[in-house]
Structure 1
């Protein structure tokens, strides 16, 4: 097995990151599109001031998430063929992380908006807090806890890849 060069590693990291951003981009764009149409629905005039405030938080967070998740494409266009892939990967990583944070805010606010509209406020607040905890668990807590587990797994994988007799 040949080792990849530094340039190949940066290229692979960027390709992996772009693939991850494609998944996030689809989700945030669907949420953003839904939020853009909401004020034009028949029930929106019945929304309370609190619900309209939550709607604005969700809408602006979705817009921020969309901008941050798509920004690596614009950054890549600006740096195209300048040999600055490490800088691009670091920037794209920060934008993806920020975009996911805004996406989390937007999604939790959207849950709060809908649940507050159909349920009592205390129940809506509890369900929104559970939603936030759910996202934080799968988007932050588990990935960071899992980071320390990988070293043993990598050694096991490398051992299993070795042909017999090595």
Structure 2
């Protein structure tokens, strides 16, 4: 059967498009999952170090926030796999891809927050100086926001206008 020609220039059915987008999304998740799981694994060990007890109350609270952010980032980035497993065979792949994409974006936002909080904790502990550490962390967070959000959003606005023929209505997903 001849596929539907989308305005993207691809000759694919909605099901083929969903399959392709699912594979693309899984590749993206693999990259993010590895980083967040390694970071989270290291964060889990901090509380078991003797030096943890010497952290100030503020730094211990910052650690708790960081570990919860890391746990939720892992959860959001693993969620598309569980989501796919539960809905497989229900003929709702386009909707599943849209939801998995949203969960992945949430996971990336949580990863950004986790990395920023972890950097703040490490630099505060390493330097014992709050004078310049927040500025360094804000600069790094600004770079993450620039690289992960601003540049792709500007590119999307300039070059990747939403195509009216999109089958899932989720314009955030790449073709």
Shorter-chain TM range is 0.7 to 0.9
Question: Which region of structure 1 is more displaced relative to structure 2, 81-90 or 142-151?
Answer: 142-151
Q: Is the counterpart of residue 127 in structure 1 residue 136 in structure 2?
A: yes
* d(CA) in 1 for partners of 2:39, 2:102: 22
| Length-normalised TM-score, structure 1 | 0.87
Secondary structure in 1 matching 2:50: coil
Pairing of 1:8-87 with structure 2 (within 5 A): 8-87=16-95
How much does 1:2 deviate? 7.0
Q: What stretches of structure 1 move > 4 A for 4+ residues in a row?
A: none
Q: Which residue of 2 aligns with 1:115?
A: 123
Provide the rounded CA distance (Å) in 2 between the counterparts of 1:122 and 1:60.
26
Cα-Cα RMSD: 1.6
| Aligned 8 A contact 2:69 2:111 in 1 | yes
Paired residues in the alignment total 152
Q: What is the alpha-carbon distance in structure 2 between the residues aligned to residue 29 and residue 7 of structure 1?
A: 31
Post-superposition Cα deviations, 1:111-161, rounded to whole Å, max 9, x if no partner, equal: 00011112201211111111110110111001101113436xxxxxxxxxx
Mind listing any 5+ residue stretches in structure 1 that lack a counterpart? Answer: 152-166
Aligned partners of 2:64 and 2:133: how far apart in 1?
A: 17
Q: Deviations over 1:47-96 (max 9, x none)?
A: 11111111111100010010010001111111111110011111101100
Q: Which has the higher contact order (CA 8 A, sep 6+)?
A: 2
* TM-score calculated relative to the size of structure 2: 0.82
Structure 1 range deviating more: 42-51 or 69-78 = 42-51
Find out whether 1:142 has 2:151 as its counterpart: yes
